[in-house]
Amino acid sequence: MITALAGGVGAAKFLLGLVRVIPEEELTVIVNTGDDIELYGLHISPDLDIITYTLAGIVDEEKGWGVKGDTFHCLEMLRKYGYEIWFNLGDRDLATHIHRTLLLKRGLKLSQATKEICKSLGVKANIIPMTDDKFETWIETDAGLMHFQEYLVKRGAKDKVLGVKYLGAETAKPADGVIEAILNSELVIICPSNPIVSIGTILSVKGVREALRATKAPKVAISPIVAGMPIKGPADKLMKGLGLEVSAYSVAYLFRDFLNIFILDYMDRNEKEEIENLGIKVILANTIMKTLEDKIGLARLVIEEALPRK
Ligand code: GDP
């Protein structure tokens, strides 16, 4: 079994390549739920849905999220009723949120509801939310404290970041299977995802970091910072807000207590030595995933480097 820690779009691109290199059934994905939010009475899990839709082959490839060919009639109608509609929820996508919310209301845990959704969409990988408990990422900004989605989507990441709070981290337990997956895997991959609000959240769940240190599996991360910048998303603003330099090195530094191998983009090759000084092996590669071939190539490289026998 191979386990991957994942946020949304960056991770989904990599995982699409990975399931062309290893059998999908052998993959467990532990997904960030710090971005989850309740809107219109529905439980929305953006990263779980991005990963699920991508592996199900129904994601809107251009955007990287949402369902291919979706329409937005429901949101239009909600606007007529006077609701704020800053979060883009397509009609087909809304069906997932309705289904998930009903399953949760029936008493299922988020991890069980996720399994149901995956089964219906034909996803064979084992997708697990990092926790079944309430956990929300809030951003402290010069305009006040707000939910991550409000910071990112509603206000367009325009506010100055002063800090990040993981609400629920003190009490949230890892969902069933999270710790076991890390401990019993032959390889753990940290996908190219936001190191603060996607991977940082997963690492903040009780026991996850300890399991990563304890597992005998090699741990490989793909840099989400290329040429000193994120490819998309607010990773730079969040890193700066936490007083970190925006660099691949900073990401490796955040994972230094458990990481064995770091896949660094050729464009950041000048950071290789500095990262190696953290005791981490560095492999240089093209990490920008535009085509399916790029995704498969990167996945193959990770497997060859970490599991040379395969
Ligand atoms: P999302 O934007 O909310 O889906 O956030 P993610 O947690 O998936 O993380 C976004 C991170 O993934 C950013 O730091 C991006 O730079 C990184 N990323 C996105 N696409 C790629 C890619 O093709 N290659 C690499 N190396 N990183 C990527």
DSSP string, 151-195: IIIISTT-SPEEEEEEETTTTPPBPTTHHHHHHH-SEEEE-S--T
3-state secondary structure of 98: helix
Q: How far apart are CA 2 and CA 217, in angstroms?
A: 9
Looking at the domain assignment, is residue 162 inside a domain? no
For ligand 1, atom 27: residue with the closest CA: 224
- CA-wise closest residue to 145 among 153, 135, 156, 137: 137
In the chain, what are the helix, strand and coil shares in percent, each to the nearest 5?
40, 20, 40
For ligand 1, atom 18: residue with the closest CA: 10
Residue of 37, 198, 229, 290 to mutate, ligand 1, most atoms within 8 A of C-beta: 198
Query: DSSP string spanning 13-34?
Result: HHHHHHHHHS-GGGEEEEE--T
Ligand 1 centre to CA of 290 (Å) is 12
Mean pLDDT of 256-271: 98
Residue of 88, 130, 189, 194 to mutate, ligand 1, most atoms within 8 A of C-beta: 194
Q: Is the CB of 198 under 6 A from ligand 1?
A: yes
Q: How far apart are CA 80 and CA 297, in angstroms?
A: 47
Question: Which tens digits make up the pLDDT trace of 215-239?
Answer: 999 999 999 999 999 999 999 999 9
Residue 58 per-residue DSSP state: -
Q: Is the CB of 246 under 6 A from ligand 1?
A: no
Structure tokens that stand for 267 in this block = 């464009």
Q: How far apart are CA 14 and CA 244, in angstroms?
A: 25
Q: Is the CB of 234 under 6 A from ligand 1?
A: no
Ligand 1 centre to CA of 231 (Å) is 6
- CA-wise closest residue to 15 among 44, 66, 76, 56: 56
Q: Is the CB of 34 under 6 A from ligand 1?
A: no
Q: Which atom of ligand 1 is nearest to the CA of 229?
A: 16
Where does the pLDDT of residue 273 fall: very low under 50, low under 70, confident under 90, or very high at 90 and above? very high
Question: Which tens digits make up the pLDDT trace of 66-84?
Answer: 999 999 999 999 999 999 9
Q: Which atom of ligand 1 is nearest to the CA of 197?
A: 7
**Total number of domains in the chain:** 1
Ligand 1 centre to CA of 310 (Å) is 27
Given a cut of 80, whether residue 202 has pLDDT beyond it is yes
Looking at the domain assignment, is residue 141 inside a domain? no
Q: How far apart are CA 262 and CA 67, in angstroms?
A: 32
Looking at the domain assignment, is residue 150 inside a domain? no
**In the chain, pLDDT over 70 holds for what percent of residues?**
100
Q: Is the CB of 275 under 6 A from ligand 1?
A: no
Looking at the domain assignment, is residue 113 inside a domain? yes
Full domain range(s) for residue 24: 2-134+171-306
Q: What is the pLDDT of residue 201?
A: 98
CATH code assigned at 267: 3.40.50.10680
Residue of 9, 50, 283 to mutate, ligand 1, most atoms within 8 A of C-beta: 9
Structure tokens that stand for 31 in this block = 């997904």
For ligand 1, atom 21: residue with the closest CA: 10
Q: What is the pLDDT of residue 309?
A: 75
Q: How far apart are CA 242 and CA 244, in angstroms?
A: 6
Q: Is the CB of 96 under 6 A from ligand 1?
A: no
Where does the pLDDT of residue 310 fall: very low under 50, low under 70, confident under 90, or very high at 90 and above? low
Structure tokens that stand for 253 in this block = 């530094």
Q: How far apart are CA 162 and CA 285, in angstroms?
A: 33
Looking at the domain assignment, is residue 125 inside a domain? yes
Looking at the domain assignment, is residue 153 inside a domain? no
Q: Residues 22-57, buried b or exposed e (16+ Cβ, 10 A)?
A: beeebbbbbbbbbbbbebbebbbbbbbbbbbbbbbe
In this structure, which amino acid lies at residue 124? Answer: K
Q: Which atom of ligand 1 is nearest to the CA of 224?
A: 27
In the chain, what is the greatest distance between 2 CA atoms, to the nearest angstrom?
59
Question: Which tens digits make up the pLDDT trace of 41-57?
Answer: 999 999 999 999 999 99
Q: How far apart are CA 27 and CA 125, in angstroms?
A: 5
Question: Which tens digits make up the pLDDT trace of 91-148?
Answer: 999 999 999 999 999 999 999 999 999 999 999 999 999 999 999 999 999 999 999 9
Q: Is the CB of 192 under 6 A from ligand 1?
A: yes
Q: Which atom of ligand 1 is nearest to the CA of 152?
A: 3
Query: DSSP string spanning 229-277?
Result: EESSSSHHHHHHHTT--SSHHHHHHHTTTT--EEEEEGGGGGGHHHHHT
Looking at the domain assignment, is residue 148 inside a domain? no
Q: How far apart are CA 123 and CA 121, in angstroms?
A: 6
**In the chain, pLDDT over 90 holds for what percent of residues?**
99
Where does the pLDDT of residue 308 fall: very low under 50, low under 70, confident under 90, or very high at 90 and above? confident
Looking at the domain assignment, is residue 157 inside a domain? no
